[in-house]
Amino acid sequence: MEDSAAVAGLLWDRWLSANVRALVSGVLPDGEADGRRLAVWLAGVHDIGKATPAFACQVDQLADVMRGLGLEMRTRRQFGPDRRLAPHGLAGQVLLGQWLEERRGWTGRQSGQFAVVVGGHHGVPPDHGQLKALQDRPHLLRTPGPSRGLWQRVQEELLEACAEEFGVAGRLGVWRAVKLPQPVQVLLSALVIVADWIASNPDLFPYFPQAAGRTSAERVAAAWRGLDLPEPWRAQLPPEDVGELFGGRFGLPPGAVVRPVQEAAVRLARGMSAPGLLVIEAPMGEGKTEAALAAAEVFAARSGAGGVFFALPTMATGNAMFPRLLDWLKRLPAGGGTRISALLAHSKAALNEAYADLMRGSAQRITAVAVDEEERVWRPREDRRAAPAEVVAHAWLRGRKKAMLSSFVVGTVDQLLFAGLKSRHLALRHLAVAGKVVVIDEAHAYDTYMSAYLDRVLSWLGAYRVPVVVLSATLPAGRRRQMAEAYAGAEGGAAGEGFDVVGRSDAYPLLTAVAPGGTAVVESPRAAARGVEVCLERLDDDFGVLAGRLAVELAGGGCALVVRNTVRRVLETARVLRERFGEDAVTVAHSCFIDVDRAANDAALLARFGPPGKSEGRPAGPHIVVASQVAEQSLDVDFDLLVSDLCPVDLLLQRMGRLHRHTRGTGQAERPARLRAARCLVTGVDWTGQVPLPVRGSVAVYGAHGLLRSAAVLLEHLDGRPVRLPQDISPLVQAAYGDGPVGPAGWAEAMGQALRRHEEHRKDQAERAGVFRLDAVGRPGRALIGWVAAGAGDADDTRTGRAQVRDSRESLEVVVVQRRPDGSLATVDWIAPGKAGLELPMDRPPSPRAARTAASCGLRLPSQFSSAEVMDRAIAELEELYVPAWQVKESHWLAGQLILALDADCQTRLAGFRLRYSPLDGLEVTRA
């Protein structure tokens, strides 16, 4: 009790961010002093449920000592299965509630909102059924008969002692009138969990403290120094001069002009009545990432947030963002802290070189230190000097359930959506995001299923008063309003006229600011990027026609990007184009490459087709990149000509962002003469009928409704009027995603059928998302009883975990190795020298280098393996290659992984399919 309470006090003083402390303290009569008392007291009493017969019977020799002192109890066997109805967290909640009611005069409603923190300290607050089952079996809490009163005396003596020791005895009468908001209950629960985990660590707190001859204060001080948790970021309000701010944080040269969108974002972040939601919609290349980080710094300084979480749609985009975040952190004044913690949060983070370097440089041993060891100097918050901080990946904060507690986190959006999923230890995820500024990138990339989770998370973030920055190049107005209303606590459209302006505006670029609980403000700065006019043209969906057209267009040289909606079409297209243009003239990019090849492909694309001055080796002669949707986002690449399968209009506009993205000479004079005007050829459609007929693969990916509305709003552009970027972005997106009729009268029947299927699909998505989705924020004073009841268990960044917050079938992830002719295994033979062909022995753990190299060759199998029948068969076949020697701690890179062994020709069979892998083309799957 003493250790947990002391740790909670240190966490409050030195680790919790100011905004979390303020939220807890703001509902208590004595402010921060009461907030600290409450946190310390709840941590101190959290294990009171162990002072019960149901718990105390577990160790015979200890139970006998208690029996000898009059505390009678049954044996563990005599209790039978009933004992499982009294886990000590639940028992503690009941005991604390009874004590508050019987000894302090509280009502059950008043006590429940405090006692539930004790009940949920193992990750799941009890539900009403569990409470009733325990209350119906009082013998689990106190043995009936003569010793019942003694059990109650012991329990009450401990609770009275805690109330006195931790300074709340005189406050409990005042707190009776407090109605704890549910967000405060969650944060207190999380703080108690963290304090419990630290105090329960025997390396920090040895079991026999008296053997060390330390006082309690010395014991706690030694443990805290051994843990050495980095303190939260304490942001300072940055310079008012936006040019100075961007120059200092992003290395802009003197005299460089800050873009209007960036300037407006910082101004709105400074001017809002309180830090809240800021939605930034702007074209590709406007510097939205830098605007978000600058706004985050302002928000953090104003709110007391202790870090930033940057959520991105994929692991690849997260990997690309992490070094950029580290660069930004190195330029920040530390706000007085000596170190700040940073984390890359996805399942393959350890394979990211920037994060791996950070971990290697942050090695530490978590253990209590000698009493007389020099203590790290700690000064009050106001006595801090602005100096750059050391960025570390703290060892204690790397665990699966603790990782998000780091101050600065880059991760996939799944990590944010998990905060809306009923799951164990959800309170820790809420504490993690409640103490940060949250940045959500590529917000347009989320479907109805994911949006249902995102909106619920936004509603909780608004309740926590967490500043949020949302970034998008193309956001439908209706979706923008849904997010604003969710954050303001008006899910379902109850916000009224104050949000009409958000749903009506089609200005672009557009910034929308929403203070917590307040109305929305919109502002439309001008775009800084030069305008581009893109001429659209229909192209028959025939590989021969495509090859012939590209031959004409690239006759004078140039680089073309062909974007297909499925990997299968990517590979078929590449095969035909190589026959026409040669192997060296065609590059393939899609998601079905092993991780190390995927990263190399992205780097190669940036190196060859990136911005002028930053890229080298741009092909002079004809070159064609055939890609899937991986080319849509987060790659600053520039092509002379674009060919795209028809897709939803916002995604087509994203693809157009890779066309003439940069100026190459005056009037694009450095591009081939035929390609100096930007053109996009739209294919993947049978254009000959009365109604366009998209190919089956595109319909499977996007649905007919989105494709037909995209074609409808693009008609006038396909018939001659160029698309003006950025002016036409918002009108096209709002028309395509609006409710109004679009397209010729002859399309009405087909579009009506597609709409009905689309609405049925959205309804189904919303209903399925609601199964495990967290409830909305309850009224103040309502206890968190049953908060995550009937939940999804543990939420983690695995294929199963991601499927819970994304509307996608589970996918299989494998580690790809090669089988040599003699039957032995090795890392694949085409990757970088020094990593290729490393031995993977089956009778012992591989070398760390070989194991890490193998793990870097992860591959997510395509949709052919996602049906339940095929997946089960594939898993059964993959598990035949089970290597016991790899399932040990020393081989953590490969333990638990499914291994896919290719032969010397990079082929194998799996679950009725033939798999062929090529470093040039990735994985190709055909029926065996």
Q: What is the 3-state secondary structure (H, E, C) of 775-821?
A: CCCCCCCCCCCCCCCCCCCCCCCCHHHHHHHCCCCCCCEEEEEEECC
CATH of the domain at 604: 3.40.50.300
Q: Are residues 97 and 127 in the same domain?
A: yes
Q: Are residues 601 and 488 in the same domain?
A: no
Q: Are residues 397 and 465 in the same domain?
A: yes
List 624's β-bridge partners, or say none. Answer: 560, 586
What is the structure's pLDDT at 649?
95
Report the range out of 307-316, 616-625, 792-801, 913-922 with the highest average pLDDT.
913-922
Write the DSSP string, 385-405.
Answer: ---PPEEE--GGGGSTTTGGG
| Cβ neighbours of residue 500 closer than 8 Å, sequence gap 6 or more | none
Q: Are residues 49 and 189 in the same domain?
A: yes
Given 172, 200, 228, the domain boundary residue is 200
pLDDT (tens digit per residue) in 554-591: 999 999 999 999 999 999 999 999 999 999 999 999 99
- Please choose, from the candidates 586, 640, 635, 641, the residue with its C-alpha nearest in 3D space to the C-alpha of residue 614: 635
Q: Would residue 474 count as lying in a domain? A: yes
Matching residue, tokens 């520039």: 638
Q: Are residues 498 and 578 in the same domain?
A: no
pLDDT (tens digit per residue) in 75-101: 999 999 999 999 999 999 999 999 999
| CA-derived radius of gyration, the chain | 30
- Please choose, from the candidates 560, 555, 622, 616, the residue with its C-alpha nearest in 3D space to the C-alpha of residue 585: 622
Q: Are residues 510 and 536 in the same domain?
A: no
Report the range out of 189-193, 724-728, 858-862 with the highest average pLDDT.
189-193
Q: Would residue 684 count as lying in a domain? A: yes
Q: Are residues 515 and 543 in the same domain?
A: no
- pLDDT band at residue 500 under the 50/70/90 scheme: confident
What is the structure's pLDDT at 686?
97
What is the structure's pLDDT at 393?
57
pLDDT (tens digit per residue) in 256-265: 789 999 999 9
- pLDDT band at residue 475 under the 50/70/90 scheme: confident
Q: Would residue 214 count as lying in a domain? A: no
List 678's β-bridge partners, or say none. Answer: 534
What is the structure's pLDDT at 374?
38
pLDDT (tens digit per residue) in 778-820: 999 999 999 998 776 666 545 555 556 665 556 788 999 999 9
Q: Are residues 142 and 291 in the same domain?
A: no
Retrieve residue 561's tokens: 């990007």
- Comparing 238 with 804, the larger pLDDT belongs to 238
Q: Would residue 792 count as lying in a domain? A: no
Q: Would residue 414 count as lying in a domain? A: yes
CATH of the domain at 20: 1.10.3210.30
- Asked if 43 contacts 196 with a C-beta cutoff of 8 angstroms, the reply is yes
- Asked if 230 contacts 341 with a C-beta cutoff of 8 angstroms, the reply is yes
- Please choose, from the candidates 679, 699, 711, the residue with its C-alpha nearest in 3D space to the C-alpha of residue 554: 679
pTM for this entry: 0.89
Given 664, 696, 725, the domain boundary residue is 725
- pLDDT band at residue 313 under the 50/70/90 scheme: confident
Q: Are residues 493 and 416 in the same domain?
A: yes
What is the structure's pLDDT at 366?
56
- Asked if 221 contacts 71 with a C-beta cutoff of 8 angstroms, the reply is no
Give me the domain span that covers residue 548: 532-725
What is the structure's pLDDT at 791?
72
Q: Would residue 235 count as lying in a domain? A: no
The mean pLDDT value for 631-645 works out to: 90
- Please choose, from the candidates 30, 18, 45, the residue with its C-alpha nearest in 3D space to the C-alpha of residue 236: 18
Q: Are residues 581 and 505 in the same domain?
A: no
Q: Are residues 371 and 307 in the same domain?
A: yes
pLDDT (tens digit per residue) in 652-702: 999 999 999 889 999 999 999 999 999 999 999 999 999 999 999 999 999
Domain count, the chain: 4
- Residue 403 pLDDT exceeds 90: no
Written as one letter, the residue type at 95 is L
Q: Are residues 596 and 480 in the same domain?
A: no
What is the structure's pLDDT at 501?
81
Q: Would residue 803 count as lying in a domain? A: no
Written as one letter, the residue type at 133 is A
Write the DSSP string, 44-69.
Answer: HHTTGGGSSHHHHTTSHHHHHHHHHT
What is the structure's pLDDT at 507?
86
The mean pLDDT value for 230-247 works out to: 91
Q: Would residue 741 count as lying in a domain? A: no
- Residue 382 pLDDT exceeds 60: no
Given 725, 760, 787, the domain boundary residue is 725
pLDDT (tens digit per residue) in 129-141: 999 999 999 999 9
What is the structure's pLDDT at 768?
80
* Per-residue CA distances from 451 to 440, 562, 762 (Å): 12, 29, 11
- pLDDT band at residue 367 under the 50/70/90 scheme: low
